[in-house]
A and B are shown apart, each in its own frame.
Chain A
Amino acid sequence: MTHNEIIQKLKSIVEPYVNNQPNFEQLNENSDFIKDLEINSANLVDVVLDVEDEFDIRIENDDMEKMLNVEATVDVIQKKLNQK
């Protein structure tokens, strides 16, 4: 899966949890889930679980720890897909 394909899938995963629509429309690698997209911290777990389901991967807490922005999340997904 290409980097862009991962970002597109991630974009649709985060959409239901976003509280800042203008920043969501401008979503890019630097978008921070909490500061920019204003996703509630309790919903970050949902993002992680939805990512697991969508990409059929399992994410340990050591990796979840970094998943605060698009770039870090794409890196974790890519790493897990490569391990499959």
Chain B
Amino acid sequence: MIGNDIVDLNLAKASSNIFRPRYFKKILNTSELSFIQESQDQFLCFWRIWTLKEAAYKAFQRLFLFDNFYNPKLFSTTIINSELALVSYQNQILEFKSKMNSKYIYSWTSSDKNRQNIIGSCKSEVKRQINQSLNLESFNLNKDENGFPFVQVLKQKASISISHHGQFYAVII
């Protein structure tokens, strides 16, 4: 099971006014709302929770194969510390990790500890990094019949998760 999501903080600041009336209430449940309101930095706290919900949507879609829908409130997040968080959906819970710096917030889950996260400024840079770290000469990024991305190397297929926002392109492989 994998899922990831990245938010470019500059783009987030420029393109979303998360403090407009009713914005939080459409996305957050009451415990998430009070967690954000009590936090030091509501902007960063919101976007971390947002990446968790988006990454969870991708991971749970692989589990349940649900059709696309738009209701981030259904993915309930619990922040454990600055790195760890839990997200639950339909009585299932997954553990997520987050990584933050001044440019982006990135959250992901993976049932396989050997997977790597690769973050770059564009698809070709990430492909280059995959080439180097996995020693792959050539590979293709594809999508399967359910729309989930995978890489193919010769006859071998491996599922991956991709997220792209603004200046950042992230892959869990």
A residues adjacent to B (C-beta < 8 A): 17, 34, 40-46, 48-49, 52, 61-62, 64-68
Most buried by B among A41, A43, A45, A62: A45
Smallest Cβ-Cβ distance to B21: which chain A residue: A49
**A61 close to B73 (CB less than 8 A):** yes
When distances are taken between beta carbons in the complex, the residues of chain B under 8 Å from A52 are 22
Give chain B residues whose Cβ lies under 8 Å from the Cβ of A41.
54, 70
Q: Which residues does chain A contribute within 8 Å of B135, judged by CB atoms? A: none
Q: When A and B form their complex, which 6 residue pairs have the shortest distance between CB atoms, in order from nearest?
A: A65-B71, A65-B69, A42-B16, A45-B26, A61-B71, A61-B73
Interface size on B, residues (CB 8 A): 21
Known: A49-B20, A49-B26. Contact between A43 and B15, CB under 8 A? yes
A–B Cβ pairs within 8 angstroms, 30 of them = A34-B68, A40-B16, A40-B165, A41-B70, A42-B7, A42-B18, A43-B15, A45-B23, A45-B26, A46-B16, A46-B17, A46-B23, A48-B26, A49-B20, A49-B21, A49-B26, A52-B22, A61-B26, A61-B71, A61-B73, A64-B26, A64-B71, A65-B69, A65-B71, A66-B69, A66-B70, A67-B70, A68-B68, A68-B69, A68-B70
Which residues in A have their C-beta under 8 angstroms from that of B18?
Answer: 42
CB pair A42–B12 under 8 Å, yes or no, is yes
Q: Which chain A residues lie closer than 8 Å to B16 at the CB level? A: 40, 42-43, 46
A61-B29 Cα distance, complex, nearest whole Å: 11
Query: In chain B between 58 and 81, which residues have their CB closer than 8 angstroms to a CB of chain A?
Result: 68-71, 73-74
Closest-CB distance, A63 to chain B (whole angstroms): 10
B50 interface hit (Cβ, 8 Å): yes
Q: Which residues in A have their C-beta under 8 angstroms from that of B21?
A: 49
